Structure 1
Amino acid sequence: MAVRCRFFARLREQAGTETETVEVPPGSTADDVYEALRRSHPALEPNRDAVRVAVNQEFRDWGTTVAEGDELAFIPPVSGGAHRVGVLFELGSQPLDARRLEAAVAHPGAGAICTFTGIVRDNSRGQSVTHLDYEAYAEMATAQMHRIGDEIAESWPEARVAMAHRTGKLEVGEASVVVSVSCPHRDEAIAACKWGIDRLKESVPIWKKEHAADGT
């Protein structure tokens, strides 16, 4: 079924459009519609507490079921305010796309985007490696990524940061982690990105197991 979506203020800027028609399955909720939109527009605000939804010009809960032809409006806090430094934090088993994270942090005021991508290599401590397995305490890991975003905001208030980490089995050559940071200037972007990946490695509860060619 088709529903019509409208974006206002900074959400319109993040989506790059004022209106959009979205196809969703029957029985979908307002939250389902917003998730579908975020897949198409990864820069959209991920924090539901920072967005209100109206269905047919009435404010509704995110769990409200929508119907064919409904109009949904996504509205940021009326008072406005500064942007959120952390725009995207993800943990999952799907392949990572660094370009997607860069798109999430890009905006007209960003003069530089620095991206770190960690890749599974074929050797470690003198042994050949066939693949890695990553395990995470998912709820805590995502929360800690948000905290790192808050830390970056303290030192680089004009930055925007996105982080994503893989879990499960990864083959040699696959990306395991991506951190992307935008800032007005390159020195800030590079410094904030380095801070972000260093803090992620030391504080986010994610573990890897290396599998060697000899079966160990």
Structure 2
Amino acid sequence: MRLFAAVKDIVGQREVVLDVPEGTTVAGMLDRFAGDYPRLRGLTPSILFAVNREYVQGTQVLAEGDEVALIPPVSGGTDLYETTDRPLSLDALVKAVGRNTSGAVATFLGIVREFARGRQVRYLEYDAYPEMATATMRQIGDEIRTRWPVDKIAIVHRIGRLAIGEASVAIAVSSPHRREALEACAYAIERLKEIVPIWKKEVWTDGAEWIGSTVDEYQERKREAESPPRS
């Protein structure tokens, strides 16, 4: 397990090796670990978890050989923009954008639904140009900062195969006031759909199609990407 900043200082080491029973969750591991270091109890509500260099929820069950990182709150810090093939954690994003100056955190969570365009969906498949997707998410963050006095921004999109009910995209924006946070969050999802190179394949009970793959839809998407951001 890798430790950083205040957690590292409390434990006195940067890395420790733990043996935990089969079926132990990340949160359960931290609870056991904090039993040996009581000062950690004050930090546990705000600690984020990463397993094998991906943010995860505390309910994630650990496997043999997993590398766990305990990530304490970041002072100031940078915004978070990424694509991932792991399940999304809105709680992790809320923690990631929280600051002492924030009076509100607005969130958006996109969910795979069972019916679309009058057809029953079996599952969705998302493909992305990851490096460009991250860059354009960062562009959206820059646009937001020119319009609203936000504290921090997190935009994470899932890729790969997603079942009905799974989250496909998660956004969190913190700000001193709720109106700015809500408006910035709404802007982020609309702008993401306009310019971020992520594609969705709907797989139905009677066929499948990449949504937005026709020439007309592609040209419309291209025009949107080249147009100046909305005021």
- State the TM-score bracket (shorter-chain normalisation): 0.5 to 0.7
SS at match of 1:90: strand
Matched with 1:52 is none
Choose the corresponding residue for 2:135, options 140, 143, 161: 143
- Deviation, structure 1 residue 44: 3.7
Q: Is the 8 A contact 1:42 1:103 kept in 2?
A: no
Q: Distance in 2 between matches of 1:187 and 1:154?
A: 15
Letter in 2 for 1:93: D
SS at match of 2:14: strand
Q: Is the 8 A contact 2:127 2:199 kept in 1?
A: yes
Letter in 2 for 1:111: G
SS at match of 1:19: helix
- Structure 1 residue 171 and structure 2 residue 170: aligned? no
Matched with 1:104 is 96
Q: Is the 8 A contact 2:110 2:169 kept in 1?
A: yes
Compute the TM-score of the two structures, normalised by the length of structure 2: 0.62
The structure richer in helix per residue is 2
Q: Distance in 2 between matches of 1:159 and 1:107?
A: 7
Superposed CA RMSD: 2.7
The structure richer in strand per residue is 1
- Structure 1 residue 186 and structure 2 residue 187: aligned? no
SS at match of 2:141: helix
Letter in 1 for 2:190: D
Q: Distance in 2 between matches of 1:4 and 1:43?
A: 12
Compute the TM-score of the two structures, normalised by the length of structure 1: 0.66
Letter in 1 for 2:106: C
Task: State how many pairs are aligned.
Answer: 159
- Deviation, structure 1 residue 153: 1.1
Matched with 2:152 is 160
Matched with 2:119 is 127
- Structure 1 residue 19 and structure 2 residue 17: aligned? no
- Deviation, structure 1 residue 128: 0.2
* Residues 6-155 of structure 1 mapped to structure 2, 5 A cutoff: 7=5, 19=9, 21-23=13-15, 39-41=69-71, 44=74, 83=76, 87-155=79-147
- Identity of counterpart residues, as a percentage? 45
Q: Distance in 1 between matches of 2:135 and 2:154?
A: 13
Q: Distance in 1 between matches of 2:154 and 2:93?
A: 6
Q: Distance in 2 between matches of 1:209 and 1:97?
A: 23
Q: Distance in 1 between matches of 2:116 and 2:74?
A: 39
- Deviation, structure 1 residue 107: 1.1
